[in-house]
Amino acid sequence: QPVLSNKPRKKKKKRKTKKTSAGEALEDNDLEDIESLLEKIEDTNGLSQQTQSGVIADSRPLLYVEHRNLNPENELKRYFGARAVLGDQRPRQRQRQYVRSTWLTAPKNTWPRYSKTGIAMQLLDTRRGVQHFTFEHHREYQQVQFKFLDAVESMDPNNIVLLLQMNPYHVDSLLQLSDVCRMQEDQEMARDLIERALYSLECAFHPVFSLTSGTCRLDYRRPENRAFFLALFKHLMFLEKRGCPRTALEFCKLILSLDPENDPLCVLLLIDFLSLRAREYTFLTRMFQEWESHRNLSQLPNFAFSVPLAYFFLSQQEERSESERSQARERAARLIQLALIMFPSVLTPLLDHCSVQPDARVASRSFFGLNAQISQPPALNQLTSLYVGRTHSLWKDPAVMAWLETHVHEVLRMVDAQDPLVEESEHKRKMRYQSAPRNIYRHVILSEMKEATAALPLEVTSQPVMGFDPLPPLDSIISYTRPERTSHPSNESTLSLFFRSCLPGPSSSALLQGDVRHDGDEEAGAGQDLNQGVNRLMAAMRDMLANIQFQEPPRDDNPEGDGDWD
């Protein structure tokens, strides 16, 4: 009987190994059919329901994260098809026997073999159904962290490269070296390093830590947790540039769910843009409705303008009923007028970025003129500059511009009629936005929007900003301290000066340990030396990073080796 049962099994195996082009196409179609069936099951499973207001309400939590939306390949397959995205990757993946399954990123053949790094996650407590976790650094990882800080202070990127050769999954080294690669326009290497950092952190997750529930918290005040926030943020920025806004939105929701009250990276300034780009208009309007009462989202220029734009796009969807579209048009009209009255300084820069000339009536009025930009507080200027620089491409649609023009003229009529709302909004602008909180400055630095970084205040630009920990919280919770160094480097090489100039932030010339030079001749000499050697050093750095290799013992399951980064 065992012999008889094995015969058909062998025949099936033979038939399975025979693949034709038609069979591959059929397999790809099956994958797409399965995904479409899953979406239909979710839609009919009571996860969404129609409300009296005509807006779709989701019964799941607002910041619920779906695993399938964390994979950019799923989004690309919706755009281009499974065959175009996967190609011949699947047979190769079956050969990888040692790979650990992860949600945030997929490990690559070129990565070195993963081994425990000394990072762990601990559950601190559970309060009101919310679980509070923290990452922990074991003693061996603390020693590597101290070496990393020494390498950063040396201002020599080669020291970080050497550290990564010995510790290929040290998270802060991966984050810092990714910034160096990105400055040298090696985007592929920079993205690969961020993905490896995420993989290292996910392998250290606590068994009950959930990415999707929206009830797991991490405290940004603990230095051990910051790398996870920063790696997620940098990863979603790469995803957005890669053309995967839906996946980037899911990562943005994940970051916000880790600490929604404090929002240490201020992703509220970004989530509206990703929602509009991903055409998730219902999510954006739902977030505004649920959070406006306790978070005052309408006082942020990005929400004040993006939410009416989302309602306008909803009103243009022909699959909706006429009553729903009419209600969306009314909400869009009311909210865009409130936004123009509250933040008149947004209109002129927005039109400039869209290459649109305002008509004579708008150009001749001071309400939307240059005075509106000059008179606003510096903190508000940063928010409006950030929004215009990031979102202006969404306003270039001729239909959007025609809709905006109509309501700009309506606002001017309200100004002429001396509507009390105009004076009240002006008073609010002067009283609020006196100074921005630290998380907004952190967001501006990480976003690298030139319109907003130019408006950073002196207290931010006068201090060093490190890529692995930009603007650490003033009330940080320190679990272990670095031992004091007995000596400091007395002289610097040209390569050190070059790396110092490459450090992110406007104040890259400031030393990490706080030393300040007062001799003008020394500063002039260093600047001249830097300018003379920068071209040669850029080529040398690019060549060095392109030829990094990890020395590992040969493995049977991957005879070609996986230590090469390139």
Do 389 and 444 form a contact (C-beta atoms < 8 A)?
no
Collapsed DSSP state (helix, strand, coil) of residue 57 = strand
For position 375, what pLDDT does the model report? 87
Measure the CA–CA gap between 132 and 125, rounded to whole angstroms.
Answer: 6
- Using CA atoms in the order 11, 13, 19, 24, what is the torsion angle rounded to 10 degrees? 120
Largest Cα–Cα distance of the chain, in whole Å? 95
**Which among 215, 271, 226, 214 is positioned nearest to 248, based on CA atoms?**
271
Q: Give start and end residues of each alpha helix (H) in 243-391.
A: 245-258, 268-277, 281-295, 301-315, 322-342, 347-353, 360-363, 370-374, 378-391
Q: Would you give the distance in Å from CA 229 to the centre of its chain?
A: 9
Residue type, 232: L
| Sign of the C-alpha dihedral computed for residues 497, 499, 501 and 503 taken in this order | negative
CA distances from 264 to 219, 230, 441 (A): 9, 10, 10
The CB-side HSE value for 456 (13 A sphere, CA atoms) comes to 26
Structure tokens at 126: 């559970």
In which order are the strands placed within the sheet that holds 119-127? Answer: 119-127, 130-137, 216-218
For position 404, what pLDDT does the model report? 97
Measure the CA–CA gap between 89 and 87, rounded to whole angstroms.
Answer: 6
Residue type, 456: L
| Sign of the C-alpha dihedral computed for residues 410, 416, 420 and 422 taken in this order | positive
How many Cβ atoms from other residues are within 10 Å of residue 305's Cβ? 27
Q: Which helix (H) or strand (E) holds 113?
A: none
Do 445 and 471 form a contact (C-beta atoms < 8 A)?
yes
For position 478, what pLDDT does the model report? 94
Q: Which residues contact 99 (CB under 8 A, 6 or more apart)?
A: 93, 107
Structure tokens at 17: 């190994």
Measure the CA–CA gap between 445 and 128, rounded to whole angstroms.
Answer: 34
The C-alpha angle with vertex 257 and arms to 251 and 258, in degrees rounded to 5, equals: 95
Residue whose tokens read 């993205």? 191
**Which among 340, 336, 538, 511 is positioned nearest to 425, based on CA atoms?**
340
Measure the CA–CA gap between 123 and 458, rounded to whole angstroms.
Answer: 39
Measure the CA–CA gap between 26 and 302, rounded to whole angstroms.
Answer: 45
Burial readout 439-477 (b: 16 or more C-beta within 10 A, e: otherwise): bbbbbbbbbebebbbebbeeebbeebbbbbbbbebeeee
Interstrand relation of 130-137 and 216-218 (parallel, antiparallel or unpaired): parallel
- List per-residue pLDDT tens for the chain, 566 residues long: 444 444 444 444 444 444 444 444 444 555 555 555 545 444 433 344 444 333 445 678 899 999 999 999 889 888 887 766 666 555 444 444 455 778 999 999 999 999 889 999 999 999 999 999 999 999 999 999 999 999 999 988 899 999 999 999 999 999 999 999 999 999 999 999 999 999 999 999 999 999 998 999 999 999 999 999 999 999 999 999 999 999 999 999 999 999 999 999 999 999 999 999 999 999 999 999 999 999 999 999 999 999 999 999 999 999 999 999 999 999 999 999 999 999 999 999 999 999 999 999 999 888 998 888 888 898 999 999 999 999 999 999 999 999 999 999 999 999 999 999 999 999 999 888 988 999 999 999 999 888 888 888 888 888 888 889 999 999 999 999 988 865 554 455 555 555 555 554 443 333 333 333 344 444 444 444 444 444 455 555 555 555 555 445 444 444 444 444 43
Residue type, 145: Q
How many Cβ atoms from other residues are within 10 Å of residue 479's Cβ? 13
How many Cβ atoms from other residues are within 10 Å of residue 201's Cβ? 22
For position 503, what pLDDT does the model report? 54
CA distances from 195 to 68, 469, 540 (A): 17, 18, 25
Measure the CA–CA gap between 122 and 206, rounded to whole angstroms.
Answer: 6
**Which among 178, 123, 112, 119 is positioned nearest to 145, based on CA atoms?**
119
Do 134 and 224 form a contact (C-beta atoms < 8 A)?
yes
Do 254 and 232 form a contact (C-beta atoms < 8 A)?
yes
Burial readout 45-79 (b: 16 or more C-beta within 10 A, e: otherwise): eeeeeeeeeebbeeeeebbebeeebbbbebbbbee
Collapsed DSSP state (helix, strand, coil) of residue 121 = strand
Measure the CA–CA gap between 156 and 551, rounded to whole angstroms.
Answer: 22
Structure tokens at 553: 């013992």
Measure the CA–CA gap between 276 and 313, rounded to whole angstroms.
Answer: 9
Q: DSSP string of 143-190? A: HHHHHHHHHHHTT-HHHHHHHHHH-TT-HHHHHHHHHHHHHTT-HHHH
How many Cβ atoms from other residues are within 10 Å of residue 516's Cβ? 6
Do 65 and 260 form a contact (C-beta atoms < 8 A)?
no
The backbone torsions φ and ψ at residue 564, rounded to the nearest 5 degrees and listed phi first, read -80, 135
Cross-strand pairs, 521: none
The C-alpha angle with vertex 482 and arms to 476 and 488, in degrees rounded to 5, equals: 120
